[in-house]
Structure 1
Amino acid sequence: MASREAIEVGIVGCSGIAQIVHLPILAQLDGTSVTAVCDIDIAKAETVAERFQIAAAYSSIEELLEHPDLDSVIVCTPNHVHAEHTELALQAGLHVLCERPLATSREQAARTLDCARQAGRILMVENSHRFRPDAWALRRSISNGELGQVFHMHASWQRRRARRPRISEWRLSREYGGGVLMDLGVTNLDFCLWLLGYPAPERLTAYLPDRDGDGVEDTAVVLMRLERDVTCSIEVTWDLAAVEDQHSFVALGAAGFGSLYPFVIQRVTPGGVLDMTPRLAPGSENIYRASYRREFSYFISVVQGEREEPLPEEQEVLLSIVEACYRSAEEDREILL
Structure 2
Amino acid sequence: MGLAGCHILKGSKNTSSRVYSQIEIDEFEVKEKTPLISIELLMKKPSYEVYIFHQHAMLLNLLLFYFFHIFLFKRDVEIVFDIHDLNEIKIKRFIISKIYWIIHEFNEIIVFKLPIKYITVSKGLARILYMKHKKPVFIYFNVCKPKSPKSLNEKDSQKLVYFGQLNEERLPLSVLNLFLEKGYAIDFYGTVNTASKEYLSYINSSKKLKFKGAFNSSDIQNIIVNYSYSLICIESRRPNIRFCCPNKLYQSLSVGVPCVVSNFLREVLIRHKSNAVTDIKAFLSGKSVSGFPKEYYEKIYKKNSEKYIEFLGSK
TM over 0.5: no
Scaled by the length of structure 2, the TM-score of the pair is 0.38
Q: What TM-score do you get using the length of structure 1 for normalisation?
A: 0.36
Identify the structure with bigger relative contact order (alpha carbons < 8 Å, sequence gap 6+): 1
